[in-house]
Structure 1
Amino acid sequence: MGWEAPPLHILLFPLMSPGHTLPMVDLAKLLAARGVRTTILTTPANAPSLEAAIELAQRSYQYPIELHVIPFPSTAVGLPEGCENASSVPYYQHPAFMTGVTMLQEPFRRVLTKLLPDAAITDWFLPWTFNISEELNIPRLVFHGISFFALCAHASLLFEQLPTDEDTITIPNFPRRVELQRSQMPDETQMHPVFTEIIRQIAEWEPKSYGVVVNSFYELEAEFADHLRNVLGQKAWHVGPVSLCNARAEQQSRRGNKPAIDGEECLKWLGEKEAGSVLYVCFGSMGTFTEAQFRELALGLEASGRPFIWAVKKCRDEWWPERFMARMEGRCLILRGWAPQILILNHAAVGGFVTHCGWNSSLEAVTAGVPMVTWPFFAEQFFNEKLLVEVLKIGVAIGAKQHTVVPEQRPLITAAEIERTVRRLMDDGEEANRMRSRARELSIMAKSAVDEGGSAYIDTQNLIQELTNRRTMPNSKSQ
């Protein structure tokens, strides 16, 4: 028998935050299903959720998804022991958390030296992984859990000296005219030094990396994917929506977190509602409100007249409007904690989604064919809102104007404004019907993209093949 080459081995290292980890776990599943040996790097407190996320899927893979654990210096940066995920850290301690993340450089170096994978795909918030990978002649690819639109916008704004006396900013050197209010963009003068340094490192080292892997599909953002590759000169692969690697409903409801409610109970409640009548409300793992805003949201949802599912991360009992639960009995389902989001979005009863415009949630709604009310808070969420509302035309903006992680710094959006926006999305007017029709078209495109012969399927195969071919090239680490 002839010699058979070992399987391609890729190490994946996500930032320890649900919005960053979940799509990279799905990427690992996607690669494992194509015969790639995959290893996910994480920390002790995050390992159990990752084990749950891959448990159901890995039985069918030729090579199991492996976990490799490195210690996280929680107490060294002033965090409680075992506090190792951004979702468990209040916003004012995010700088301490990210300081702890930067202290993972030597553990990462030791793992990479020991495993010597053929490539490392690391989160874009871990830019220092480039230097370590470069030392070992291992190609480092950047995983972006954000849109091509946001990637291009970040690149266009990075080195521009924007006018300081204008309230409205037009994104320069962009495929189409897009305007944002200055308040919708991060204020770098107010940024903690640890984040300023990370952004500086991203700007310096990401262009030197082997390329970027993006959780999107070409048909959704063709002009922006082309701009990134052809104008900005970035080698890129579109491999999404990666969540579609979870073919079975039970896997979709168990992507690494225990749902706040049993999926069957959720399906039973939805099954009693008319098609397209239910509004799903969720603001991700880090979306928080003031008590006043929470109450306005509750009253706005009540006034809309629509049945709704509301995934509530944290609130106190006194935050609810008086007798709200009694009035909403049978009309709403409150999920305290993590929700089986993909299962909910794909149910026929769900006709709209109030979202913070995180890219995972946005793409999951696109895949399910559900239009959105957009309510961004921070990060790249205001860019995603522009894509959903102005380019794809499957969203209605709630009117959020302030880019900030601090709930108290956001202007109050009233119950009347919330009711009006929900009705625009959910009623049977011409605008709402156009959005629903467009959302259904994009859903079909998303599913076709990951099917054999689709754009994402082909690009994923191209990535695997290029990394496989690199092993036989001169000066590769295997020589």
Structure 2
Amino acid sequence: MTISSNKTTKKPHVLVIPFPAQGHLIPILDLTHKLAAHGGLTITFFTTPKNLPFLDPLLSAHPSINTLVLPFPSDPSIPEGIENAKDLPNSMKVMIRALTRLHDPLLHWFKSHPSPPQSIISDMFTGWTCRLASELGIRRILFSPSGAFGLSTIYFLWSELPKPQNTDDKNEVVSFTKIPNSPKFPWWQVSPLYRSYLSGEPDSDHLKDAFRANLPSWGIIVNSFTELEKDYLDYLEKDLGNDRVWAVGPLFPGDDYLSGTTQRGGSSSVKAEEIMSWLDKREDNEVVYVCFGSQALLTKDQTEQLASGLEKSGVHFVWSLKDKNCDVIPSGFEDRVAERGLVIKEWAPQVLVLSHRAVGVFLTHCGWNSLLEAIVAGVAMLTWAMGADQFVNAKLLVDELKVAKRVCEGRESVPDSDELARVLFESVSENEGEKTRAVELRESALNAIKDGGSSNKVFRCLMDQLTSLEL
């Protein structure tokens, strides 16, 4: 166990526990930045040794934050040295199981600490921390890296435990009857973790226990804002009977922290300055940005069809793709599109790219972080949801907010390059409706986090709760 501690005056103490996956880790780091910037708290951030570098921007901005470093629990399904889900595709289930073994080391740390935390803020994939908090007589607050709509579907699944009538029919529809608007999804679009539980795979009951443990959480923090998801926030608060739901988003690094965002997720084959320089030469809103997040890996066929669609479309584009996919780009593709396309291998500084005036459209997998970053940038979207909460997010974007159009659905779907080329071309030339609504939504998002805005008020209420806890 490694503990870094900074001498501070006695303040209410909060322990932050993330889940080690990029889509989960980045927003909870942004939340911790916001908590630290407000002041009034002693903050300890838990991490494992190999995930510690991800904290560098946060700790540079806020040296007062303490770190608690514990070894990653060993697990026969996780190769030695792997501590982040991005390094082990389809690893969420085994990661969730392994991290439950941190209960005893954390309990020991609490009991030996001279001034232990009075509350725990932890990721929704760490439901076991609710039991830990109960044993310690303190409060556990769930942090959701998903939106209120996505979190509502998760709560529905694990509390109601619906089952398909025909397990062989992946297109059978499940109705989320208690959620606003009664959304419906085919079973193949339902949470893969929940479907894993239904199939009776090993550790199925463990998954159920892990998620149902979230239900008695003292409060819920959601990276969203009222104007974006009011109906679903109301559902979480009223129908679930928890009146402590804080929509504090969009969580976003401030100017003092922004310099760290270029490396928050990893290294890149192209420097941020070079990307910005390339974009500076383009006209407003003429560039399509293409990125599918940290987990999704395109197949050879998907990569080739996407490359062909980009080439045929004639649009300017920035394409961020995993290094593992770079060898399946069609031969000569980069040379043929050199005048209008930029390929980034590994990590892209997405916040900076989306916020550039030249970027007008985002082809996305609909991860919640990417969705919010596009909303803050006022960028219209093309959706290709692949898993997790992404189908729910796509439904919100396309059917309710109308700031996006679907181009493909599913991890195994292969788009037609001609049709994709048509949609890409139209997205930068004929998307006035989606673009107008995206700009309007951007104003709502920025207003929410301003002084007096909905998220600003809610965050102050959260801080009042955290700083008023008895010492």
Q: TM-score, normalised to structure 1's length?
A: 0.88
**Aligned pair in 2 of structure 1 residues 120, 198: CA closer, same or farther (>3 Å)?**
same
1:417 maps to which of 419, 423, 429? 419
**Offset at residue 469 of structure 1 (A):** 2.5
Structure 1 letter corresponding to 2:20? M
416-425 or 100-109: which moved more?
Answer: 416-425
1:104 aligned partner? 102
Structure 2 letter corresponding to 1:343? L
Check the 8 A contact 1:170/1:179 in 2, yes or no: yes
**Aligned pair in 2 of structure 1 residues 196, 280: CA closer, same or farther (>3 Å)?**
farther
The answer to whether 1:57 aligns with 2:61 is yes
1:212 maps to which of 209, 220, 226? 220
- Can you give the 5+ residue segments of structure 1 that lack an aligned partner in the other structure? 472-477
Check the 8 A contact 1:95/1:192 in 2, yes or no: no
Structure 1 letter corresponding to 2:302? Q
**Aligned pair in 2 of structure 1 residues 469, 97: CA closer, same or farther (>3 Å)?**
closer
2:228 match: secondary structure: coil
Identity across matched positions, percent? 34
1:475 aligned partner? none
**Offset at residue 147 of structure 1 (A):** 0.7
Query: Where do residues 168-247 of structure 1 align in structure 2 (5 Å cutoff)?
Result: 168-185=173-190, 186=192, 187-188=195-196, 189-190=198-199, 192-194=201-203, 196-203=205-212, 205-234=213-242, 235-246=244-255
2:467 aligned partner? 468
Structure 1 letter corresponding to 2:224? S
Matched positions, count: 451
**Offset at residue 94 of structure 1 (A):** 4.7
**Offset at residue 95 of structure 1 (A):** 4.1
1:12 match: secondary structure: strand
1:208 match: secondary structure: coil
1:328 maps to which of 315, 320, 337? 337
**Aligned pair in 2 of structure 1 residues 96, 221: CA closer, same or farther (>3 Å)?**
closer
Query: Where do residues 249-260 of structure 1 align in structure 2 (5 Å cutoff)?
Result: 249-255=258-264, 257-260=266-269
2:5 aligned partner? none
**CA deviation profile, 1:386-432 (whole Å, cap 9, x unmatched):** 111111111111231x4xxxx5xx1322212322332343222xxx1
CA distance in 2, matches of 1:448, 1:56: 28
The answer to whether 1:378 aligns with 2:387 is yes
Structure 1 letter corresponding to 2:53? P
CA distance in 1, matches of 2:326, 2:448: 44
**Offset at residue 244 of structure 1 (A):** 4.2
Structure 1 letter corresponding to 2:420? I
Structure 2 letter corresponding to 1:129? T
Check the 8 A contact 2:59/2:65 in 1, yes or no: no
**Offset at residue 440 of structure 1 (A):** 0.7
**Offset at residue 66 of structure 1 (A):** 2.0
1:448 match: secondary structure: helix
Structure 1 letter corresponding to 2:293? G
1:11 maps to which of 9, 12, 15? 15
Runs of 4+ deviating beyond 4 Å: 246-249
1:281 match: secondary structure: strand
CA distance in 2, matches of 1:193, 1:83: 21
CA distance in 1, matches of 2:429, 2:30: 35
**Offset at residue 162 of structure 1 (A):** 5.0
1:161 aligned partner? 162
The answer to whether 1:42 aligns with 2:47 is yes
Check the 8 A contact 1:279/1:307 in 2, yes or no: yes
Say what the alpha-carbon RMSD is for the aligned residues. 2.2
Structure 2 letter corresponding to 1:455? S
**Offset at residue 129 of structure 1 (A):** 0.7
2:319 match: secondary structure: strand
CA distance in 2, matches of 1:227, 1:78: 37
CA distance in 2, matches of 1:126, 1:470: 23
2:4 aligned partner? none
**Aligned pair in 2 of structure 1 residues 40, 260: CA closer, same or farther (>3 Å)?**
farther
CA distance in 2, matches of 1:155, 1:96: 21
Check the 8 A contact 2:93/2:207 in 1, yes or no: no
317-326 or 220-229: which moved more?
Answer: 317-326
- Can you give the 5+ residue segments of structure 2 that lack an aligned partner in the other structure? 1-7
Check the 8 A contact 2:306/2:420 in 1, yes or no: yes
CA distance in 1, matches of 2:121, 2:408: 36
Check the 8 A contact 1:77/1:99 in 2, yes or no: no
CA distance in 1, matches of 2:315, 2:204: 41
**Aligned pair in 2 of structure 1 residues 317, 353: CA closer, same or farther (>3 Å)?**
closer
CA distance in 1, matches of 2:137, 2:255: 33
CA distance in 2, matches of 1:251, 1:451: 22
Check the 8 A contact 2:146/2:368 in 1, yes or no: yes
Structure 1 letter corresponding to 2:178? N
**Aligned pair in 2 of structure 1 residues 79, 227: CA closer, same or farther (>3 Å)?**
closer
2:3 aligned partner? none
**CA deviation profile, 1:356-403 (whole Å, cap 9, x unmatched):** 111111111111111111111111111111111111111111231x4x
CA distance in 1, matches of 2:364, 2:255: 22
The answer to whether 1:450 aligns with 2:435 is no
2:123 aligned partner? 123
**Aligned pair in 2 of structure 1 residues 456, 172: CA closer, same or farther (>3 Å)?**
same
